[in-house]
Chains A and B, each alone.
Chain A
Amino acid sequence: MGQTATVLGGHTKSAESPETMYTGSEILLRCLIEEQVEILFGYPGGSVLPIYDSLYQGELRHMLARHEQGAIHAADGYARATGNPGVVIATSGPGATNLVTGIATAKMDSIPMVCITGNVPQQLMGTDAFQEADIMGITMPIVKHSYLVTDVRDLPRIVKEAFHIASTGRPGPVLIDIPKDVANAKDKFHYPEAVSIRGYQPTSNPHPLQLARLRKEIAEAKKPVILAGGGVVISGAEKELMEFAEQAQIPVITTLMGLGGFPGKHPLWLGMPGMHGTYAANHALLETDLLIGIGARFDDRVTMGRPDIFATKAKIVHIDIDPAEIGKNVDTFIPIVGDVKKVLQGAVNDDLLRSDCADWIDKVQGWYKSYPLQYQDSEEILKPQWVIRHLYETTGGDAIVTTDVGQHQMWVAQYFQFAQPRSLITSGGLGTMGFGFPAALGAQLGKQERTVISVIGDGGFQMTNQELAIASSANIPVKVVIINNQNLGMVRQWQEVFYKKRYCDVDLSGSPDFVKLTEAYGVKAWRATTKEEAIHAWAEALAHPGPAIVDFWVAPEENVFPMVAPGKGLDEMIMGDEEE
């Protein structure tokens, strides 16, 4: 049977005509090819056997992860690095539920993804059949949209719509649930050329009146500041942002998701704001009289959950493609709904008056210089911040860096000065541990020519390190930097600062020897405990043509500073633990 099917598959391919009949899974594959998908990430199982059977021909590259969570984070990393939708496939039931964290991660950071799940045949749906889970219901709050395909004839339209919805407007994950009988049913293949979805028309062009108001406010402002977020990166508006900031002479703060959207070396840049932000960024927010939020959503890591005491002296301008973001977290003086790139193109024109604020720029640049990010270096023990600086200097900043979640994530944000967008890949919204390493694999597959570094904690690495198998089998030359502090560092820091050092379940003893673990997968690994070893090991890892890991043993009790406690004002920054 299997043989016949293969021959038949080969046969139909050469005899393609509008009358040729295909199975649902063959149609799915053709749709993905039409969408110019280059690579799929996934994991097979009973309900997706027809789909995997149609992959047998090898027309589309598929990466076999070792856990569906690894697959979906890899697809997400691919999407973040390239800007194209990431595609993941999982089977029904446990396969589908293993995607949940990855879907929520993508949703929170507005990442275009198409997630394909198999489901049990329709006649078994609702009977608690083997490996049945209501994945549509389970994922409802965390998808941008979802489809259950009940008829093979709907499949091409649904796939077309799914890619359209995932990648336009404010991007996000779209789920397509395909029962096994639909994957097996037959139909002709015709891919629709256009989509029209009643009820889905994202606004991309800004209202000219609001733009005029913005120009007027800029002309009158004495202390303007731009807060640029992930929307700048998603919209590909880095050039427009630079022009806008330079022409109007307005200092720029970038959120975690906005890092790289404005060059970290630019004289107008003040760093990242919020909980672990720079003095200059936070104080600029405290004093500004005109705050221009661009593709940033004023979340509680920036406002500290205290909109009542956030930027109280400022009129707030909020530019975002999602109208629901405007006015959600902070009161807005000028709302501008539209694609950030188009809004900035519209704003930058001849009558954009330059703000009259040379004194202000002197002041904020003075803060930036007088209160730089600082740490106590050591010759005895490696400091994590030094390691990140070293990565930065040895790559000239020209790398894609993925992070996991925790202290190392903040140190990357602070000490790696990103020059280009899509260079920092991090789970900012959901804060998903286990994201960083598989995301790096996906990013590298999408951007073969770039150096991709996965900076990760010894805790988070153990959540998805099984994906070393793909790094090894597909020889994906990602460089993994383990910031090994033998602790769940960020949790330990909070227990130190907020719970009087009552350390509880943050000690990671029992963790494997990461060098041996890595080598067991056939991947090269080094360990570094001193600066000398670090320099040496990193140089070798970087020069190695394949995947490589360096396990940096760093000071276990190092903390991330500056720090603002949740619920406090941005003026209450703890600059460091000087007393020690």
Chain B
Amino acid sequence: MRHVLSVLVNDQPRVLARVTTLLGPRNFNIESISVGESEVEGLSRMVIVTHGDEWAMEQVQKQLYKLVDVIKVNDLSDHPAVERELLLIKVGAGPTTRMEISGVVEPFRASVVDVGPNSMMVQATGERAKLDVLIELLRPYGIKEIARTGVTALSRSMAHASV
């Protein structure tokens, strides 16, 4: 099963290395990791997307807690959560296809952020699956480059759990 772990860590050099070193030998398949500042000064939030059964997830959480730099681990899959990823994609686009591409990306609430003579760059945010679909739709135009941030996520407030 897919899990999204939200891990509060000390904002210290090497903390990402400590976490990945720990997951490595336990054969953890990591779909994505993203790290950034959190609401607490000195702490970063790391969002890890991974797959594993209940046993593996329990193990990995306990092992993470053994790292001195890990403050808190939450499995966001246990509760409603918002998951987002940012995609930047550069596709081939000449004068004839620009309009068409703009039309394709529009329903995704994506925007064109750069235009060159033979290409344009599209920015999109959303859940991973949605971005995957967008990439497939853009493939026929010729994908030149892709950059994705990996998933970041926060649990929803209880009152809005159904939104």
Chain A residues packing against B (C-beta within 8 Å): 136-137, 140-141, 144-145, 148, 165, 197-200, 322-324, 327-328
Cα A150 to Cα B138 in complex, Å, equals 48
Interchain CB contact under 8 A, B63 and A324: yes
* Chain A residue at minimum C-beta to C-beta distance from B71: A199
Cα A144 to Cα B18 in complex, Å, equals 11
Interchain CB contact under 8 A, B71 and A328: no
Instruction: Name the B residues within 8 Å of A198 (CB-CB).
Output: 10, 71
Instruction: Name the B residues within 8 Å of A323 (CB-CB).
Output: 62, 65
Chain B residues packing against A (C-beta within 8 Å): 10, 13-14, 17-18, 21-22, 24-25, 55, 58-59, 62-63, 65-71
State the majority secondary structure of interface residues on B.
helix
Can you report 13 A-B residue pairs in the complex whose CB atoms are below 8 A from each other?
Answer: A137-B14, A140-B21, A141-B21, A141-B25, A144-B68, A148-B14, A199-B67, A199-B69, A323-B65, A324-B65, A324-B66, A327-B55, A327-B58
Cα A466 to Cα B95 in complex, Å, equals 78
Nearest CB in chain A: distance from B19 CB, A: 10
Count of chain A to chain B residue pairs whose CB atoms are closer than 8 Å in the complex: 39
Known: A165-B68, A322-B66. A148 touches B13 (CB 8 A): yes
Nearest CB in chain B: distance from A483 CB, A: 34
Interchain CB contact under 8 A, B17 and A137: yes
Nearest CB in chain A: distance from B1 CB, A: 18
Cα A103 to Cα B120 in complex, Å, equals 53
Instruction: Name the A residues within 8 Å of B25 (CB-CB).
Output: 141
Cα A148 to Cα B18 in complex, Å, equals 14
Interchain CB contact under 8 A, A199 and B10: yes
Instruction: Name the A residues within 8 Å of B65 (CB-CB).
Output: 323-324
Interchain CB contact under 8 A, A140 and B10: no
Instruction: Name the B residues within 8 Å of A148 (CB-CB).
Output: 13-14
Interchain CB contact under 8 A, B68 and A324: no
* Chain B residue at minimum C-beta to C-beta distance from A161: B68
Instruction: Name the B residues within 8 Å of A140 (CB-CB).
Output: 14, 17-18, 21
* Chain A residue at minimum C-beta to C-beta distance from B55: A327
Cα A356 to Cα B115 in complex, Å, equals 82
Cα A199 to Cα B73 in complex, Å, equals 11
Nearest CB in chain B: distance from A313 CB, A: 22
Known: A141-B22, A327-B55. A197 touches B68 (CB 8 A): yes
Interchain CB contact under 8 A, A324 and B62: yes
Cα A140 to Cα B25 in complex, Å, equals 12
Nearest CB in chain B: distance from A407 CB, A: 29
Interchain CB contact under 8 A, A145 and B21: no
Cα A165 to Cα B59 in complex, Å, equals 22
Cα A323 to Cα B24 in complex, Å, equals 20
The listed residue with most A CB atoms (<10 A of its CB), out of B13, B25, B66, B71, is B66
Instruction: Name the B residues within 8 Å of A144 (CB-CB).
Output: 68
Interchain CB contact under 8 A, A199 and B68: yes
